[in-house]
Structure 1
Amino acid sequence: MRELFQIAMTLDEKANQAHMTFHVEVPHNVSRLVVNFNYSPIEESDRVALEHAVLREGYSVSILENDTVLRNLLTLSIHDPYKFRGGRHYFNSNQLIEISDSEASLGFEAGEIPAGVWQFTIHNHACLSPNIKCDLKIQAEVEESAFSREVPLAQLREPKKKIVKTIQVDKNAPWVKAELHTHTVHSDGNQTTEQLLTAAEQEGIHCLSITDHNTTSAYQDLQLNQHNLTMLQGVEYTTFYGHFLVHHAENIPLNNWTHLSSSSLQALLQQLQNNNALITIAHPFDMGNPFCTGCQWNYVLDHINHIDAIEVWNGPSPTSSLSNLDAYAKWTHLLQQGYEIQASCGRDWHNPMGQDEQCAYMFVQANDASAASIIDSLKYGRSYISMGPRIELTVNQRFSIGDHIRITDHRLQISLILSNMESSSHVCIIAGERLLYEKEVMDSEMVIDYISDDFTENYLRIEIKNKVGDITAFTNPVYFQYV
């Protein structure tokens, strides 16, 4: 028997006629739920407590007899993720409720026990005593394998090609410097909205998104006429089993995150994506519970068709983080397996920047500076991530980062224009699993033209490494289809 939830509490008359709902994740492969619900006392005869009870309802204490006894009444009801499973209204200080496929306690409905977030609600019909002891314990009969901790994004079906929205980006369109993961005092950040926007402008950021935890209230503070920034509406859904960023060109309708589970997450992601939201898994390999609640991605997904990007670099000085190395390795492994998913970065900006911190930014090429245009380019993958170097990539004279190119032979012409480079950096052209080309760069600017006559891979991307081998910039892929 696996314990899912337990709580003990003390109630008094101020909890009278209130409902207390507990959202509890029920895993897969549960054959029986066992719920113990207890409270005491049922009867209350203390004169002071009785007088408080009748006065609260507008009666005179004169209606009380010497032997008057009133009763506390607490009941329990249960909802599974899809429907009401029942409740029993009766006086009993020790209640045992069992639900299985074939049987259920009186007042409750037997049947399949679906995985997801269940609601267990205590209904305080009458709280008359000054100290009502109450406890709720929820257990499940379940296969232990259902509780094993998964490596993030480990159990995925075979990759499915996405239907890619083709966009036409002018090759001379500017690259926009963006920061997509920030927090304010509206959640756990230490900067006001105004302080964050001012700091972003000082860093030369053109596009900013405030992604407070489970709230968009910071956007009420905005005074856009005072800042030369394109704002993407954003929020970081912060759940017990993972965090994900949602960006949109317009107002984001918030959903109740407490209802999310592995079984319901895909429906929400699809709904958001159908509304042209950009969806990014945040810091999937962070330490997580109990060190950082929900920070590691523990949702078990069988596909990632409704996810646009993985935040592979999180925080300042991103290459010093082991969890970022794991996230980057997972992203490149997914690409090698045939998944088409973008990489993203975010400072996870909570505090003013430290003197020794080096930050990475998203660089996005969009036809204009509007939020809608930037969102389209991010979803398309017309972006690269950099802590300094600037990259312009052209393939076959007219294609660039994020494009899907139909080719009839194996000849490929690659042109790179690099700037803001550190001396002794290395430029790497990576095709699938192999290093196609590498060259050391001695100057801050360089042009590279490379031709491959035997290109057979499904994608290529660029990495730039400093003289000690740390990645300082990389692009999202260019994809190829052979006809």
Structure 2
Amino acid sequence: MGIAQECSKSETVSRFISHDEESLYIEVPVTVPAGTEQIKVKMEVIQEGAASSIIDLGVKDTKRIRGWSGGARTEFFIHQAKATPGYLHGELEAGEWAVILGAYKVATKGCTVILTIEYSPEELRWLKGDLHTHSVHSDGTFTLREKANIAESEGLDFLGLTDHNASSQNEAYPRDVNTLFIPGMELTTNKGHLNLFGVHDPIRDFRVNNMEELHSRLKEARENGAYISLNHPYCRNTGWRWDWDFDYDWVEVWNGPWREENQDAVDWWQEQLVLGKRLVAVGGSDAHRPHPHVVHGMPTTWVYSKSLKSSDILKSIEKGHVVLSYLPQGPFINLTCGNSMVGDVCEEKNQNVEIKVEDVQFSDVVKVISNHGIEQEVMVEEGQDQVELSWSVGNRLFYRVEVWRYSPEVKMRQMAALSNPIYFLNE
């Protein structure tokens, strides 16, 4: 999940091990290509005759032993952000590595080891996740491994670990799961909440009693490398009641199930865009415990990233390469203009703006919105599962897209998908 499997390359290497090599550590050279995101190795031992051989498994990178399974495993993976237990995740330096075969016990007739090595490259693609979640490390009931299992079952690639005023979750999360955990903290004050992303321990003291202390906490988080998101600013209970003149990067316009407070946040965001601000919109479920409506991935944040690594995902969010949908299954909005996508500033005024909205349903409404307000509304016809539109740029500052879907449960239309804008150099 999350790996660009269609671009992966694999090779198979065969190595006969003789009885005379028993007790030796045999290196099988492999060349790791530049730009590799993950390496996966599988070992098969073909026995010669009735007697069995026991072969241990490990790997060496260009500088050091990177991991060792002994006889406990016949396969492992190393990703930039996670790895099989016993192996070190991190950068995968290009060059000559070696799979290490420990010839612990070799039968008289020897054995043949067949290695299959798969290299998955960094590749720009849409990853989907939930940026705002809680666990037992604050007031949630989910363990981190339970959260990973839920994310995988829902088809999510990443989860933000945003426990209230805590950072212990960032040291405790499992590294041997398919789900990527993005380190974070929800800075929780009595007058509003902020997510601090990308740093394991962003601040030393969470207490904020005045604006001076808020500025101080955010300055510390920023100096430590954190990205800052303004959470659910119009929530009735925990909305933003500090002054609005403070340091932040993104705004969470969609928190949990769609409701009036989210619409208020989107309306405020639209006002900022009309004023000429380029503010990235994100979303998050705010899931704390099992709940019929507040669930992981509702909404889902889609991020166009070159790798399933926290730093790359956060850099892509900072660029505005973000689309939101109410479920991991979509709908999904692809908004482009020439070579530009959501979040970009498009200088190609001779190109048409184009959208392709996938996984829509009958009676869904697709809205095209600019700094002049709603420009187009298209209702999905029966039998359609996607909508494609094209129009000229004109003199607009930006275009963005919303999808609205009728909900029988609440008997009204609700937001089903939301794109960040493409911006234009018009005045």
TM value normalised by structure 2: 0.64
Out of 177, 191, 216, the position equivalent to 1:241 is 191
Q: Which amino acid aligns with 2:425?
A: Q
Deviation per residue, 1:275-316 (Å, 9 max, x gap):
44221111212223xxxxxx22111133x5x3111111112x
Structure 2 partner of 1:424? 363
Determine if the alignment matches structure 1 residue 307 to structure 2 residue 244.
no
Q: Percent identity of the aligned residues?
A: 28
Structure 1's 417 and 264: CA in aligned 2 closer, same or farther, altered over 3 A?
Answer: same
Distance in 2 (CA, whole Å) between partners of 1:356 and 1:242 is 20
- Is contact 2:255-2:284 (8 Å) kept? yes
**When the two structures are aligned, how many residues end up with a matched partner?**
297
Structure 1 partner of 2:18? none
Structure 2 partner of 1:362? 301
Out of 409, 418, 421, the position equivalent to 1:477 is 421
- Is contact 2:128-2:156 (8 Å) kept? yes
SS of 1:474's equivalent? strand
Q: Which amino acid aligns with 1:258?
A: R
How far 1:420 sits from its partner (Å)?
Answer: 1.2
Distance in 2 (CA, whole Å) between partners of 1:425 and 1:393 is 17
Distance in 2 (CA, whole Å) between partners of 1:471 and 1:183 is 24
Residue pairs, 1:133-144, within 5 angstroms: none
Deviation per residue, 1:48-85 (Å, 9 max, x gap):
xxxxxxxxxxxxxxxxxxxxxxxxxxxxxxxxxxxxxx
SS of 1:244's equivalent? strand
Out of 355, 362, 377, the position equivalent to 1:438 is 377
Out of 242, 246, 253, the position equivalent to 2:202 is 253
Distance in 2 (CA, whole Å) between partners of 1:208 and 1:215 is 16
The structure number with the bigger radius of gyration is 1
How far 1:445 sits from its partner (Å)?
Answer: 3.1
Distance in 1 (CA, whole Å) between partners of 2:144 and 2:131 is 14
Distance in 2 (CA, whole Å) between partners of 1:282 and 1:347 is 11
Q: Which amino acid aligns with 2:342?
A: I
Determine if the alignment matches structure 1 residue 403 to structure 2 residue 344.
yes
How far 1:215 sits from its partner (Å)?
Answer: 0.6
More strand by share: 2
Distance in 2 (CA, whole Å) between partners of 1:465 and 1:355 is 18
Distance in 1 (CA, whole Å) between partners of 2:154 and 2:162 is 18
- Is contact 1:186-1:217 (8 Å) kept? yes
Q: Which stretches in structure 1 are left out of the alignment for 5+ residues?
A: 1-171, 289-294
Determine if the alignment matches structure 1 residue 197 to structure 2 residue 155.
no
Distance in 1 (CA, whole Å) between partners of 2:293 and 2:395 is 45
RMSD across aligned positions (CA): 2.5
Residue pairs, 1:70-469, within 5 angstroms: 173-225=124-176, 227-248=177-198, 250-259=199-208, 261-288=210-237, 295-302=238-245, 304=246, 306-315=247-256, 317=257, 319=258, 321-354=259-292, 359-387=298-326, 388-395=330-337, 397-407=338-348, 409=349, 411-442=350-381, 443-452=383-392, 455-467=394-406, 468-469=412-413
Distance in 2 (CA, whole Å) between partners of 1:450 and 1:179 is 30
Q: Which amino acid aligns with 1:246?
A: L
How far 1:450 sits from its partner (Å)?
Answer: 1.2
Q: Which amino acid aligns with 1:200?
A: A
Distance in 1 (CA, whole Å) between partners of 2:234 and 2:345 is 29
How far 1:260 sits from its partner (Å)?
Answer: 5.2
SS of 1:258's equivalent? coil
Deviation per residue, 1:366-409 (Å, 9 max, x gap):
111111110001111100110130121211x21000001235x5
Distance in 2 (CA, whole Å) between partners of 1:429 and 1:419 is 15
Distance in 1 (CA, whole Å) between partners of 2:321 and 2:271 is 20
How far 1:352 sits from its partner (Å)?
Answer: 1.9
- Is contact 2:170-2:200 (8 Å) kept? no
Structure 1's 259 and 313: CA in aligned 2 closer, same or farther, altered over 3 A?
Answer: closer
Distance in 2 (CA, whole Å) between partners of 1:240 and 1:447 is 44
Structure 1's 229 and 338: CA in aligned 2 closer, same or farther, altered over 3 A?
Answer: same
Structure 1's 412 and 438: CA in aligned 2 closer, same or farther, altered over 3 A?
Answer: farther
Distance in 2 (CA, whole Å) between partners of 1:441 and 1:450 is 16
